Structure 1
């Protein structure tokens, strides 16, 4: 940041890190912090990195500095930054609280350079406050349509670059760690359908159907399957896929909000990777709608990302990076919160399964695919957004590994109060393979 009385970047690092922190920081002002042979080598290439961190003392400042290239980590691959992210997480235990004098000096050093407009990456969306100010209140039909489009209507080809030919953008299920991603995704789809245990001619609704993989798999079993999504690109892709498979008589996809589905008396409903967009405060209403859509003794399979612990003040939610760059208005809750919402809506929960480790493996494969198809990914969405997705996938893999987040499947049944004798609306023991 200059010479003389101006605080150097190395001095700022010394103010926030313990002396034995296993990192070497080399800065644009010629200063360095930490041992030269440290396993983690960070280069701060521009004073704009400091402005970003000073303007946003949270993950947004760090994410912007990374996305805009204001700092670099030796050996980091933007398509798969997982190894370096893991080292940064380990560095967290070496953070210390600066003294008031050190804070004052850092503030003075930044201010001494005058006002600098903080750059915002093109791939960053508006904050939650800005969305509300524009009339997009979280989890209204209008806001949901906008936020789903922000995430999913990028490019079908881009998603294929990292999720692979299965076009399945949810946690796979692995029999062994070395199982292929495509086999594991087929495994997951089979698990979902096996748990529902629908028969040929039964009717199924898939809410948040994505590109249609689950609907198509159900139709191949003779199930009459309807899928709904708010993403036009996904539905167009899926409709063409259905035509290629010759399944028009059994499979249908619609651009439609689940709240607008006119049909009733479905034998089964799947909600796979949808609840993250619903909002925890709306869970009870969501499950009330599922209850109405199912026939008595019908089954619901709900598959969603969860948090491993209740958040402070019991306020679910996602972090600001995900909210601005990936899933606007995304919301997570604990498995206990979800099961209570199912129970309060009238469902009987038959089974609950945690697939946390499987999602870490899935994300590992997605980063590897993004790396293998990097040139096309950049062609589809541009370098900056592709870089954002590399960071997002790697950060999520790490979060699943560290048990910050989990993913659960809940199998629930709408009780048949009048129809079946002695309440036997499902078999005595689990009827699906593990």
Structure 2
């Protein structure tokens, strides 16, 4: 039984959604002129082509380089001038600019992201960046609303582009693997191996998704409690658990991780830490520590960004925050290691990175989403939504292609008694092995 057959399509019924409320470009002539000069300076050092309406060409790229077409230059530069971190994405949403392959175009930008704005002007960030709204701080109430913003769009939207087992995180593409579903199964088994999940394991999962990991853990003999804040995800997850005949082994709950109770042999969290917000990273890891039995193991899969970029952008409010993941913040690997060392007794045991696998995962998701767009449009979603989602997937793919982003699976052990003693070094598995 397929996920789609378990969750029949339902038309979208909501007030005018945020993505359809993007209006005409705001007017800011002075800032637009500055933004245009900065943009021209940046692209003229990049291996890209920019075609402005009217025939002007920018960029240092040759005939085969990635192409950006700017159909409405005045609107484009005004959006950049008012707020470049939001306006650049909005310009794609409304069609001010287009690209035949936005991921290929964005990759050179991502490779040079720290240098696109001249260093003297970077010091002005605190005065020109938009402030984060209060809802970005992920209190218990705001966390629920932030999750609903993304995951309660419609299960059918996600069914349109995810693999057959409905896994919404990086696939692990081993040498020779091309099939996305197989890459996801391999990823799930790898993270369950890190947590030593097998027959009789009492496992907690923080972040249910659509229950793919919980179902696999139950197939391996575990008894699973899995938590989500998305009512839509919970509905489909419970259907899938029942259809698999595993209701006696998997208990799916609508619950904030901070309210979780009990003690477990294993705790698994896959791409959840990015959603909790930087001010709650310590609480996230303290929760893992609190819920683990002595001798237990935790496994965390996390998207990471370089530490210097994390520090430089941690207070920024971006297009991704506004339209895709409100309240989100990517950690760096040093930040995770600090939080674990400072706030828990957990001992780092293993770590494994596979960023190129995420680039391939996102490439396949974007292709599937566009190939099946007619099905999503039939649910009531607009072309603005299509361009928003396409840009989000392409933007993320470019980050991984450029090594600006990475994804790690991290294993931790809970000491059997006394205080944790930090080992000389955690065992680092080589990329892609």
Common fold by TM > 0.5: yes
Question: Which position in structure 2 is the counterpart of 1:296?
Answer: 294
- Distance in 2 of aligned mates of 1:15 and 1:321: 18
SS in 1 for 2:167: coil
Question: Which position in structure 1 is the counterpart of 2:14?
Answer: none
Match of 1:32 among 48, 56, 80: 56
Check if 1:204 corresponds to 2:203: yes
Q: Deviations over 1:29-49 (max 9, x none)?
A: x45245998553624236433
Match of 1:54 among 81, 84, 89: 81
Question: Which position in structure 1 is the counterpart of 2:339?
Answer: 341
C-alpha displacement at 1:301, in angstroms?
A: 0.3
SS in 2 for 1:353: strand
SS in 2 for 1:377: helix
- Distance in 2 of aligned mates of 1:15 and 1:317: 23
Question: Which position in structure 2 is the counterpart of 1:83?
Answer: 104
Residues 269 and 300 in structure 2, CA contact (< 8 A), matched pair in contact too: yes
Q: Deviations over 1:121-177 (max 9, x none)?
A: xxxxxx764x41xxx361210110010000110111111111222211111111125
C-alpha displacement at 1:85, in angstroms?
A: 2.9
Q: Deviations over 1:286-321 (max 9, x none)?
A: 211211111110110011111123337576467601
Question: Which position in structure 2 is the counterpart of 1:286?
Answer: 284
SS in 1 for 2:378: helix
Question: Which position in structure 1 is the counterpart of 2:97?
Answer: 71
Residues 364 and 397 in structure 1, CA contact (< 8 A), matched pair in contact too: yes
Which 10-residue stretch deviates more, 37-46 or 242-251? 37-46
Residues 242 and 34 from structure 1, CA distance in 2 versus in 1: closer, same or farther, beyond 3 angstroms? closer
Residues 387 and 378 from structure 1, CA distance in 2 versus in 1: closer, same or farther, beyond 3 angstroms? farther
Question: Which position in structure 1 is the counterpart of 2:422?
Answer: none
Residues 131 and 317 in structure 2, CA contact (< 8 A), matched pair in contact too: no
Residues 68 and 105 in structure 2, CA contact (< 8 A), matched pair in contact too: no
Match of 1:308 among 293, 306, 309: 306
- Distance in 1 of aligned mates of 2:324 and 2:318: 10
Question: Which position in structure 1 is the counterpart of 2:410?
Answer: 410
Residues 49 and 65 in structure 1, CA contact (< 8 A), matched pair in contact too: yes
Check if 1:391 corresponds to 2:391: yes
C-alpha displacement at 1:251, in angstroms?
A: 0.7
After superposition, where does 1:110-125 map in structure 2 within 5 Å?
A: none
Question: Which position in structure 1 is the counterpart of 2:40?
Answer: 16
Question: Which position in structure 2 is the counterpart of 1:158?
Answer: 157
After superposition, where does 1:148-227 map in structure 2 within 5 Å?
A: 148-176=147-175, 178-227=177-226
Question: Which position in structure 1 is the counterpart of 2:5?
Answer: none
TM-score by length of 2: 0.77
- Distance in 2 of aligned mates of 1:161 and 1:317: 34
In structure 2, list runs of 5 or more residues that go unmatched.
Answer: 1-31, 119-129, 419-426
- Distance in 1 of aligned mates of 2:359 and 2:218: 29
- Distance in 2 of aligned mates of 1:295 and 1:15: 54
- Distance in 1 of aligned mates of 2:323 and 2:363: 20
Residues 128 and 142 from structure 1, CA distance in 2 versus in 1: closer, same or farther, beyond 3 angstroms? farther
- Distance in 2 of aligned mates of 1:367 and 1:343: 38
Matched length: 373
SS in 2 for 1:350: strand
Residues 153 and 128 from structure 1, CA distance in 2 versus in 1: closer, same or farther, beyond 3 angstroms? farther
Q: Deviations over 1:34-70 (max 9, x none)?
A: 59985536242364333323322x1312221221112
SS in 2 for 1:170: coil
TM-score by length of 1: 0.77
Residues 396 and 14 from structure 1, CA distance in 2 versus in 1: closer, same or farther, beyond 3 angstroms? closer
In structure 1, list runs of 5 or more residues that go unmatched.
Answer: 1-7, 98-126, 419-427
C-alpha displacement at 1:360, in angstroms?
A: 1.2
